[in-house]
């Protein structure tokens, strides 16, 4: 399953309108914010259609799993579904189990979790965690609910940075070491170790770079860690992935690259790629060749030339660019 799917769910008083564009989406928030209302409206529509007083307009097949309304197991209800967006309410314990995790990764369906807790066994994007926001629309004459991204991909950099930590221990680490050659750079050796690494670093100001496309399950813990410590400032940056940065900077180029980066959801079949991070790695490995042949395990000389370093730097956030105080960077940015 791939693509972006639009939903418009409404009755006489309420309207929910949103898009789903990745295989795993979370809608979070406190009680009484509209999450359960949305699921109940969609479920009632599936049972009774327009007779429910509810309309659902969408270009997707969808299923709503409400624990209170089902007597069958999740495998009986969901196991045979394909190319379907499956909405699952919170407090279903099976979503933490390994067999359900396997189903999510291999079924070819999209999943929308109405769940306040993270699912640590699944890779999902920082940008696909939402909360519902609402306001009254005079045009619609309804209370209108839309999705608002819950977590930023870059936090405010407060003061100087003394250490850069990246979850990548291979090509990404090597590349950042060349870019920020005036600073100490280290690896956390994977996204599962980011939090413990930051907890154990004392009295320094840190920039932590993570692969946002697969870091959603850890983002709440990361923000909590950033906020708890008074003796160190922790800033995080969560681009999609290191490979995404190389593609977005056009260190290599090929037909449809612009379309792929703009509308990645139209190219990523979730039965092949459990996250966009893996898709971008696949593109780098299959679309590069010769001197530009990409190796995830060790960055090649092609990608650390002055030309390509500057290409990538141009798409960094300005506050991150300013950390790379080398002659070639200053010249590119016209800082002086």
pLDDT digits over 177-214, tens only? 999 988 899 999 999 999 999 998 887 889 999 999 99
Domain residues for 92? 5-149
CB atoms within 10 A of CB 152: 14
**Do 79 and 228 share a structural domain?**
no
Residue 98: alpha-carbon gap to chain centroid: 21
Sheet with 55-58, strands from edge to edge, namely: 55-58, 5-10, 14-20, 142-149, 129-137, 24-28, 110-114, 85-89, 62-65
For residue 73, pLDDT beyond 90: no
**Do 97 and 229 share a structural domain?**
no
**Three-class SS of residue 158?**
coil
- Name the token pair of 124: 């999902």
In a domain, 139, yes or no: yes
Cα separations (Å) of 86 from 191, 232, 272? Answer: 27, 42, 18
**Do 198 and 108 share a structural domain?**
no
For residue 50, pLDDT beyond 60: yes
**Do 170 and 122 share a structural domain?**
no
In a domain, 158, yes or no: no
In a domain, 15, yes or no: yes
Last residue of a domain, one of 101, 125, 149: 149
Name every residue whose Cβ is closer than 8 Å to that of residue 135 and which is 6 or more positions away in sequence. Answer: 143, 144
Alpha-carbon torsion (313, 319, 324, 330), positive or negative: positive
In a domain, 103, yes or no: yes
**Do 130 and 187 share a structural domain?**
no
**Do 230 and 129 share a structural domain?**
no
Rounded-to-integer distance, Cα 238 and Cα 235, Å: 10
**Do 141 and 203 share a structural domain?**
no
Q: Are 140 and 16 in contact (CB under 8 A)?
A: no
* pLDDT at residue 329, rounded to an integer: 41
In a domain, 106, yes or no: yes
Last residue of a domain, one of 125, 149, 173: 149
Number of folded domains that form the chain:
2
* pLDDT at residue 326, rounded to an integer: 47
**Do 102 and 9 share a structural domain?**
yes
Q: Are 217 and 195 in contact (CB under 8 A)?
A: no
Q: Taking the CA of residue 144 as centre, how many other CA atoms within 13 Å lie in the half-sphere pointing to its CB?
A: 13
**Do 195 and 107 share a structural domain?**
no
| Buried-exposed string 203-241: b where 16+ CB fall within 10 A, e elsewhere | eebbbbbbbbbbbbbbbbbbbebbeeeeeebbbbbbbbb
Report the mean per-residue pLDDT for the chain: 91
In a domain, 275, yes or no: yes
In a domain, 157, yes or no: no
Rounded-to-integer distance, Cα 140 and Cα 142, Å: 5
Last residue of a domain, one of 83, 114, 149: 149
**Do 167 and 74 share a structural domain?**
no
pLDDT digits over 280-304, tens only? 999 999 999 999 999 999 999 999 9
**Do 317 and 269 share a structural domain?**
yes
**Do 192 and 50 share a structural domain?**
no
In a domain, 154, yes or no: no
Angle between helix 171-179 and helix 306-313 axes, rounded to 10 deg: 90
pLDDT digits over 89-131, tens only? 987 889 999 999 999 999 999 999 998 888 999 999 999 999 9
Rounded-to-integer distance, Cα 59 and Cα 66, Å: 22
| Per-residue pLDDT band at 69 (split at 50, 70, 90) | low
For residue 59, pLDDT beyond 60: yes
């Amino acid at each position: 399953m791939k693509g972006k799917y639009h939903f418009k769910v409404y009755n006489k008083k309420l309207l929910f309108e949103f898009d789903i564009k990745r295989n795993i989406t979370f809608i979070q928030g406190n009680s009484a914010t509209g999450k359960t209302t949305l699921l109940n409206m969609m479920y009632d529509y599936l049972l009774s259609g327009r007779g429910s007083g509810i309309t659902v307009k969408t270009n997707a097949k969808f299923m709503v799993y409400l624990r209170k309304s089902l007597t069958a197991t999740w495998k009986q209800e969901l196991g045979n579904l394909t190319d379907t967006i499956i909405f699952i309410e919170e407090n279903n314990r099976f979503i933490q189990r390994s067999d359900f995790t396997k189903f999510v990764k291999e079924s070819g369906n999209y999943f929308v979790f109405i769940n306040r807790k993270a699912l640590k066994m699944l890779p999902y994007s920082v940008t696909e965690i939402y909360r519902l926001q609402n306001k009254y629309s005079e045009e619609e004459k309804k209370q209108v609910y839309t999705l608002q991204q819950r977590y930023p991909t870059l936090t405010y950099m407060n003061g100087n940075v003394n250490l850069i930590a990246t979850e990548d221990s291979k090509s990404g680490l090597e590349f950042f070491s060349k870019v920020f050659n005036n600073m100490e750079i280290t690896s956390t050796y994977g996204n599962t170790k980011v939090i413990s690494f930051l907890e154990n670093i004392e009295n320094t100001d840190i920039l932590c770079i993570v692969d946002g496309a697969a870091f959603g399950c850890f983002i709440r813990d990361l923000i909590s860690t950033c906020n708890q410590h008074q003796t160190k400032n922790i800033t995080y940056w969560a681009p999609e992935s290191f490979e995404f940065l190389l593609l977005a900077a056009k260190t290599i180029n090929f037909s449809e690259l612009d379309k792929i980066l703009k509308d990645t959801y139209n190219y990523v079949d979730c039965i092949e790629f459990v996250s966009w991070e893996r898709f971008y790695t696949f593109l780098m490995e299959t679309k590069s060749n010769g001197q530009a042949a990409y190796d995830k395990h060790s960055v090649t000389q092609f990608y650390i030339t002055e030309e390509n370093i500057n290409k990538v730097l141009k798409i960094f956030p300005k506050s991150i660019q300013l950390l790379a105080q080398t002659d070639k960077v200053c010249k590119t940015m016209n800082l002086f």
